[in-house]
Amino acid sequence: MSSGALSHVRVLDLSRALSGPYCSMLLADQGADVIKIEAPGGGDVTRHLRPYVNGEGVEFLALNRNKKSIVLDLKSESGRQAFLDLVAVSDVVLENMRPGVVDRLGVGYAAANAVNPRIVYCSISGFGSSGPLRDLPAYDIVVQGMSGTMSLTGEPGRPPVMMGPPMGDLAAGVFAALGITTALTARGQTNRGRYVDISMLDCQISLLAYFGPWYMATGEVPQPRGGGNPRLVPFGVFRARDAYITVGVLGEEPWQRFCKAAELDHLLEDPRFATNELRSEHRAELLPVVERAFLGRDAEDWIRRLRVADIPCGPVNTVDRALATEQVHHRNMVVETHHPVAGAVRVLGNPVKLSDSPDEFLPAPTYGQHTREILSGLLGYTDEEVAKVVGSEPAGAR
């Protein structure tokens, strides 16, 4: 892409599957020139995962917009040299292989830094580049379990469950994008690159947010809370007559507005519920009253009433309903790309709105689509040199 805050940044993306591609997509959405380097034999595994649109994997289409694709065999001398030639004219390298793999291939941080001391090199792995678990494999479900976040998800007394979205992968991608842009900012002052070391487990521990400090301060192990909040009442998921809604009441003045909107004025006279602390202490007496009241009206009626009273609330949408809402479309969070094989494909938009963020997205690339363009146009390789690198793999548009 030619516009956007990161249009001056070139990223070499060695990553695959989810955490790395999500990171590089966030960078590409802000205009970074992301070159996705795919292995011979079919490239990123998500190209081949169901469901498909005209034979193209939906997950790949969703995570790899605004990127270019080249095929390099990093196990060959010519492929490795082509990669290092690209490092010399790039700003960022991103990878999410197991620690040590890129070093054995000769394309790790030391090799990249020797070619270009200004390179920002980011590695995403399950447990980071150090520590006793460094060399172990990990997936999203593993780090959700190990971090404690899974123990907080679900209903009390029920088995632990994963968070709906794969937050182990996605959070690592977001933190990696933050680490990369932080290192690029520092490079502007020092003219030196950085190594950015992202551990999926570290990211999940960070997302414990206030739960970790609560435990360390009190010694009480946090438990799953379902749709409620251990400190606030009423605050959570409630069933209306026809559907579920979410409601959050924080503070005494909102409590008064809530009671009036819900026609529960008598609760304002009950000393057990005079403060939030007392309402939490007497939640067993208060919640049944509130829950019975919610059952008396439809969800839409409740949301209208509570919004008039300026009480935070909303429907519990299914995915289809969430993606159909006016607010989501107004914010361009559902966008359409036009893929040469899959055709018109709707994907999720960019949540980071800068004043110069590009508002049009390019489709995910086909396998090896830009190999010849990049090797010849960017590196100046001859046809003979391109043929040596590519071999029988796709050389892109001819």
**pLDDT higher than threshold 80 for residue 395:** no
CB of 366 closer than 8 Å to CB of 341: yes
For the cut 90, the answer to whether the pLDDT of residue 390 exceeds it is no
- Dmax of the chain from CA atoms? 86
Give the residue-averaged pLDDT of 350-356.
93
Three-state DSSP at 385 gives helix
pLDDT of amino acid 398? 43
Residue 180 near residue 104, CB atoms below 8 Å:
no
Q: Say whether domain 10-207+327-390 belongs to CATH 3.40.718.10.
A: no
Q: How confident is the model at residue 397 (pLDDT cuts 50, 70, 90)?
A: low
The answer to whether residue 72 scores a pLDDT higher than 90 is yes
pLDDT reading at 126 higher than 90: yes
pLDDT at 325: 97
Tell me: pLDDT of 238 over 60: yes
Say yes or no to pLDDT of 389 above 90.
Answer: yes
Amino acid sitting at position 193: G
* Active-site residue, from 73, 140, 169, 202: 169
Q: What's the pLDDT score for residue 394? A: 74
Asked if 197 is an active-site residue, the reply is: no
Residue 197 CB partners (closer than 8 Å, separation 6+): 123, 128, 129, 130
Rounded Cα gap, residues 132 and 271, in angstroms: 54
pLDDT of 356 reads 84
pLDDT mean over 149-168: 95
Token readout for 256 is 């008064």
* Per-residue pLDDT at 104: 97
Average pLDDT, the chain: 96
pLDDT of res. 231: 85
**How high is the pLDDT of residue 1?**
47
pLDDT of residue 2: 58
CA atoms within 13 A on the CB side of 31: 15
CATH 3.30.1540.10 region(s) of the chain? 235-239+244-315
Note the pLDDT tens digit of each residue in 207-230.
Answer: 999 999 999 999 999 999 899 888
pLDDT tens digits for 245-296? 999 999 999 999 999 999 999 999 999 999 999 999 999 999 999 999 999 9
Helical packing angle, 299-308 and 252-261, nearest 10°:
130
CATH 3.40.50.10540 location in the chain: 10-207+327-390
What mean pLDDT is predicted for residues 316-326?
A: 97
How would you class 362 by CB atoms within 10 Å of its CB: exposed for 0-12, middle for 13-18, buried for 19 or more? Answer: middle
C-alpha to C-alpha distance for 341 and 391, rounded to whole angstroms: 24
Report the alpha-carbon angle 263-269-274, nearest 5.
Answer: 105
Class of domain 235-239+244-315: alpha beta
- List pLDDT tens digits, range 73-111: 999 999 999 999 999 999 999 999 999 999 999 999 999
Distances (CA, A) of 237 to 37, 163, 291, 307, 360: 45, 16, 10, 16, 36
In this predicted model, which residue has the larger pLDDT, 3 or 255?
A: 255
- Phi and psi based region of residue 196 (left: phi greater than 0; alpha: psi -120 to 50; beta: remaining): beta
**Is residue 201 pLDDT above 90, yes or no?**
yes
Residue 304 has pLDDT above 60, yes or no: yes
Mean pLDDT of the region 9-14: 98
Please name the amino acid found at residue 66. N
Q: What is the pairing mode between strands 33-38 and 120-125? A: unpaired
From 134-138, 145-149, 323-327, 384-388, the region with the lowest mean pLDDT = 384-388
Residue 20 pLDDT: 98
- Mean local confidence (pLDDT), 185-205: 98
Q: How far apart are CA 97 and CA 100, in angstroms?
A: 8
Q: What is the mean pLDDT of residues 335-350?
A: 96
Give the pLDDT band (50/70/90) at residue 392: confident
Q: What's the pTM?
A: 0.94
